Amino acid sequence: MASNITNPPSTLGKYCVTLTSSLVLASLVALTVQVFYFSPIDPVILEIPSSASSPSSTKNNQLQNVIKLGEGFLKQPEDVCVDKNGVLYTATRDGWIKRMVRNENWENWKHIDSSSLLGITTSKDGGLIVCDASEGLLKVTEDGFSVILSQVNGSQLMFADDVIEASDGNIYFSVGSNKFGLHDWYLDLLEARPHGQLLKYNPTLNETVIVIDNLTFANGVALSKDEDYVVVCETWKFRCVRHWLKGINNGKTDIFIENLPGGPDNINLAPDGSFWIALVQLTSKRLGFVHTSIVCKHLLASFPRLINLINSATKSAMVLNVGTEGNIIRKFGDNEGKVISFVTSAVEFEDHLYLGSLNSDFVGKLPLPSAE
């Protein structure tokens, strides 16, 4: 008579453990391959200055006194500029160039079918020059817009970030990264390699030359009051670099200011010859270790939704007034981001500071005398 043969409980248990271990091992191998073999970045360690990773020891909330201009009408107004007639302009993420006349009424001025409008500046012959991270440099006037420059040396102009026009008509502009586009900015941060540039476009000769190469995320650009040098912000390096255009240092490049308490975004010339720099908080003390770990960088690059874990840009706001010798004159902030955060530009006009932000629906207006 045949009998039923069953596996002893101990044998079945060992089988289950072996199967589970195999599955876990296979999953780990698959994850490792995904993270390292298919990683979109080739990262290096990013050095975070102590001034940027340590919380401020003093209360700094002057930016909580801003007046909100155009609240609800502006979608992420990153950059702002003011023309000679006092008209305020900003480019928004929904593709509009919007402006506010002196009576503080806003209007939709010109629409560009783009979600990647970045730096803007007034042009000496009227209108604006606008950076479109997808299309290049644009000229915007009452008649509409046209492309100034879309290619550099036969290649598509990628990630035009900020721009300024000199009195001689030459246009200086930054390229944030030659490897990663605007919407992959976090990959450039994680990789932390120098893919950025400062370039000069001569419209008379239709010629573009590289002024400074190998910048670690080239961002804001400004000319000095006498136009004897140009400054470009190097965001991932927490510093600004200066290139001399005139004088005994003509052609030389040096550091204008470094070890900033945040990543410098846009920079603008003030009426007295100093500069206003908007700083972005790139990381926090608790999570700064990510920038010192190659493994963590690969992991975040493979699973981009995790990037918000280290992005502290929306938690606070800070702007600096920096003198011509690279000395900090004034510092205004909103330490906890209660009123405004992620400030990306600061422009001074008639004793007020106008602030752009990627985390607001308004332009901030700060009366400077009361802020001191």
Which of 122, 72, 64 has the alpha carbon at shortest distance from 92? 72
pLDDT at 27: 43
What region, left, alpha or beta, does residue 270 occupy, with left being phi > 0 and alpha being psi -120 to 50 degrees? beta
What are the φ and ψ backbone dihedral angles of 111, each rounded to 5 degrees?
-110, 130
CA angle, residues 103, 108, 110, in degrees to nearest 5: 125
pLDDT at 154: 87
pLDDT at 369: 74
pLDDT at 283: 75
pLDDT at 33: 47
Cβ atoms of 274 and 321 within 8 Å: the answer is yes
pLDDT at 102: 81
Q: Where are the domains of the chain?
A: 48-367
pLDDT at 103: 76
pLDDT at 26: 44
pLDDT at 60: 83
What fold is seen in the domain 48-367?
Neuraminidase (2.120.10)
Cβ atoms of 157 and 136 within 8 Å: the answer is yes
Taking 50 as the pLDDT cut, the residues of the chain under it are 1-3, 5, 19, 22-31, 33-34, 57
Sign of CA dihedral 23, 26, 32, 35: negative
Q: Mapping DSSP to helix (H, G, I), strand (E, B) and coil, where does residue 263 land?
A: strand
DSSP 78-112: -EEEE-TT--EEEE-TTSEEEEE-TT--EEEEEE-
Global pTM reads: 0.90
What residues have CB less than 8 Å from 78, skipping those under 6 apart? Answer: 90, 91, 93, 117, 118, 119, 266, 344, 345, 356, 357, 358
